[in-house]
Amino acid sequence: MTRSARPLRADAARNRARVLEVAYETFAAEGLSVPIDEIARRAGVGAGTIYRHFPTKEELFSAVIRDRMQHVVDDGYALLEAGDPGTALFTFLRSIVLQWGATDRGLVEALAGFDIDIQQAAPESEEAFLTVLGELLRAAQQAGTARQDVGAREVKAILVGCQAMQSYNSELAERVTDVVVDGLRPRR
């Protein structure tokens, strides 16, 4: 992801990784409005250090998203390779919503585009995500467990909706996710 000519000094790389981790946890728990100073404090670095690695708050958030997305995409491929093609998509969707969304306010806000535009911020991640989602969807369609008239973008939109539901009412989330995901199954 990093394109700069020279690699980071070891301590700088450690700081960068630590900030990313703390920022994820903090955004996830408290949303995007947490002050940078607070993240710096929790990460045990100065605010200036965060700005050295991420020139704006939005950049920091984009980096967090890219980082997380990478994990999600990896999970998707793991399911594709190891699993049952007829259920991989549904497992994938449920796991994102239930595992991640449960504590992830920042991600929901970002996915819904409230404060940043994720397509702008992390186009590669977006693309990678749509790619794996498309493969999972195709597998399910070929296995006859998903309707033919939707594409990866539609499924992504549904996922955003599920994240919002999760954020809205986490108690209902599991049942409702099932209902919504049922909408993806073939009619009849």
Per CB under 8 A, residues contacting its own copies are: 31, 105, 108-109, 111-114, 147, 150, 153-154, 157-158, 160-165, 167-169, 172-173, 175-176, 179-184, 187-188
DSSP E strand stretches across 33-171: none
Does 56 contact DNA by CB under 7 A?
yes
Residue 8 interacts, among its own copies, DNA, none and using kind-specific CB cut-offs from 5 to 8 Å, with: DNA
* CA-wise closest residue to 167 among 20, 23, 24, 29: 29
Q: Are 50 and 26 in contact (CB under 8 A)?
A: no
Q: Which stretch binds DNA (CB under 7 A): 5-13, 117-125, 148-156, 167-175?
A: 5-13
For DNA, the closer of residues 61 and 92 by Cβ is: 61
Q: Do residues 68 and 24 lie in contact, with contact meaning Cβ atoms separated by under 8 Å?
A: yes
Q: What dihedral do alpha carbons 21, 18, 4, 122 form, nearest 10°?
A: 10
Among 15, 125, 163, 166, binds DNA (CB under 7 A): 15
| CB-based contact 160:111 (threshold 8 Å) | yes
What count of other Cβ atoms lies within 10 Å of the Cβ of residue 150? 15
Residue with smaller CB distance to DNA, 54 or 100: 54
Half-sphere exposure of 24 (CA within 13 A, CB side): 15
In the complex, least distance from residue 186 CB atom to its own copies, rounded to whole angstroms: 10
- Specify the stretch interacting with DNA by CB under 7 A; choose among 6-14, 76-84, 103-111, 147-155: 6-14
Q: Please tell me whether residue 77 binds DNA under the rule CB under 7 A.
A: no
- Residue 79, Cβ neighbours under 10 Å: how many? 22
Q: Does 120 bind DNA (CB under 7 A)?
A: no
**Least separation in angstroms between CB 3 and DNA:** 15
Count, residues near DNA per rule CB under 7 A = 27
Which one of 30, 37, 174, 178 is in contact with DNA (CB under 7 A)? 37
Distances from the Cα of 61 to the Cα of 54, 85, 146, angstroms: 9, 33, 33
Residues that bind DNA (CB under 7 A): 8-12, 14-16, 33-38, 44-49, 51-53, 55-58
